[in-house]
């Protein structure tokens, strides 16, 4: 199956519809949601009714309207449809996008590694008319990018596991109905000791703690989670005990497999933010400058605009290739990390260049450009920092030669 360089009719339909939603529903609420640092429940409920959700892994959102979904099949271009939609959502507002109802980043591990019963049970909560959220928790106060260094402990106790530890910077952590949590049975075992659990809201010892106040993406609920002798039934061990007995690095594999699915999605959101900044700046320059005049600095302005357009185009191709590989069942670890590493850095550069071109007015708090600049910084950090993703790419490049880097 060849990679197409033109969007399919279904991708075009998704892009047009989601762009309308982003422009008419999300963009007008972006600054207020950012200032209030609150989850806009009314807007999210309206978007859910329109089919705009983050049911990653379970299928959902506008995808439910496809004939393939109605027939009980997964669309052949599901991942490409998702990154296409997410680019437009990021263009509308990234903070609101991250807070859309659905499984979110918790969806891919449940979909890929959960038992049939677990998938039915945990994805079933999103059938409710009220907004519901899932979440994903690996990051800890002492470890972020190094997933192998997690210290949250799990101990088998009869028909349950007892969890103790702290997770931080958890997207939708306070409002989630359930959270995929990574813990270790023994630090000395390294990756072999990792386990993944679905911890449900209300379980004794599970404390959804304080909200993290951030520089950007302030409409999104980002939380610290505490596990104090939290008793989790063995039925909530993701994939069941056989998964970890069969593979020594079972829990670590769940975490890494999740990144292969989510990194292109996060890169697509960064692309949307950068594109919004670029289009705003392009239009500003069109209205205020006559670039056809022989003014020396106008040449540099045109050069900067061209450089930004090239970065956006290159990033979109990397993202679409990573998504396409997932759709056709090819391993995409290198491509997923490459798209995230490139777009996180390139989007930050684009947003900074846009502020340089527009000047002082672009730095005021009532200006979307200032908000986009604050929002974009984290995209070179979460879902694996740029350094970590470049290391993943380097390792994949040298693997055929038997060299570990």
Confidence of residue 56 (pLDDT cuts 50, 70, 90): low
CATH of 9-127, one of 1.10.540.10, 1.10.3720.10, 2.115.10.20, 3.40.50.880: 1.10.540.10
Two tokens, residue 256? 């890494």
Class of the 134-250 domain?
mainly beta
At 262 the pLDDT is: 87
Least confident of 13-17, 65-69, 118-122, 241-245: 65-69
Band of the pLDDT at 313, cuts 50, 70, 90?
Answer: very high
pLDDT in tens, 260-272: 888 999 999 999 9
Considering the chain, what is the average pLDDT of its residues?
87
What's the confidence (pLDDT) of residue 60?
A: 35
Would the pLDDT of 64 be above 60?
A: no
What are the structural domain ranges in the chain?
9-127, 134-250, 256-401
* Predicted local confidence at residue 128, as pLDDT: 82
Q: What is the pLDDT of residues 93-152, one digit of tens each?
A: 999 999 999 999 899 889 888 999 999 999 999 988 889 999 999 999 987 667 777 899
- H-assigned helices in 93-210: 94-98, 107-113, 116-124
Query: What pLDDT sits at residue 232?
Result: 97
Q: What is the dotted CATH code of the domain comprising 256-401? A: 1.20.140.10
* DSSP secondary structure letter of residue 4: P
* Model pTM score: 0.88
Tokens of 31: 């600054």
Under a CB-based contact definition with an 8 Å cutoff, are residues 350 and 336 in contact?
no
Q: Where are the beta strands (DSSP E) in 151-275?
A: 153-157, 160-171, 178-184, 194-200, 206-211, 222-233
The confidence band for 252, taking pLDDT boundaries of 50, 70 and 90, is: low
Which residues are tagged catalytic? Answer: 383
Q: Is pLDDT above 50 for 251?
A: yes
Intrachain domains 9-127 and 134-250 with the same fold:
no
Question: Which residues face 182 on adjacent strands?
Answer: 196
Three-class DSSP category at 156: strand
pLDDT band at 345 (very low <50, low <70, confident <90, very high): very high
């Amino acid at each position: 199956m060849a990679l197409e360089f033109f969007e399919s009719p279904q991708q075009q339909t998704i892009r047009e519809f989601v762009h309308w939603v982003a422009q008419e529903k999300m963009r007008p609420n972006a600054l207020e949601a950012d200032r209030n640092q609150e989850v806009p429940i009314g807007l999210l409920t309206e978007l859910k009714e329109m089919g705009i959700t983050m049911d990653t892994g379970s299928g959902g959102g506008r995808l439910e309207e496809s004939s393939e979904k109605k027939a009980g099949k997964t669309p052949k271009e599901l991942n490409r449809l998702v990154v296409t939609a997410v680019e437009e959502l990021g263009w509308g507002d990234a903070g609101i996008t991250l807070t859309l109802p659905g499984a979110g980043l918790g969806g891919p591990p449940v979909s890929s590694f959960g038992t049939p019963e677990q998938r039915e049970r945990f994805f079933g909560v999103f059938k409710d008319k009220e907004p519901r959220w899932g979440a994903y928790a690996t990051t800890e106060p002492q470890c972020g990018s190094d997933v192998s260094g997690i210290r949250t402990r799990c101990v088998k106790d009869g028909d349950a596991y007892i969890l103790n530890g702290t997770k931080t910077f958890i997207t939708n952590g306070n409002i989630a109905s359930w959270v995929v949590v990574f813990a270790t049975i023994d630090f000395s075992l390294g990756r072999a000791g990792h386990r993944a659990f679905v911890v449900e809201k209300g379980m004794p010892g599970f404390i959804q703690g304080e909200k993290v106040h951030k520089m950007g993406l302030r409409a999104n609920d980002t939380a610290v989670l505490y596990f104090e002798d939290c008793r989790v039934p063995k039925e909530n061990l993701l994939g069941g005990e056989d998964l970890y007995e069969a593979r020594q690095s079972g829990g670590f594999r769940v975490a890494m497999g999740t990144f292969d699915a989510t990194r292109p999605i996060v890169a697509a959101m960064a692309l949307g933010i950068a594109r919004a900044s670029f289009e705003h700046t392009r239009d500003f320059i069109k209205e205020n400058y006559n670039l056809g005049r022989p003014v020396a600095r106008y040449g540099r302005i045109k050069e900067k605009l061209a450089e930004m357009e090239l970065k956006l185009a290159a990033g979109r191709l990397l993202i679409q290739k990573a998504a396409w590989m997932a759709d056709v069942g090819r391993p995409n670890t290198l491509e997923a990390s490459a798209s995230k590493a490139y777009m996180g850095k390139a989007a930050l550069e684009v947003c900074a260049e846009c502020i340089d071109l527009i000047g002082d007015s672009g730095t005021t708090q009532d200006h979307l450009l200032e908000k986009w600049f604050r929002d974009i910084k984290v995209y070179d950090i979460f879902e694996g920092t740029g350094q970590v993703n470049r290391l993943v790419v380097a390792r994949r490049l040298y693997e055929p030669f038997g060299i570990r880097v």
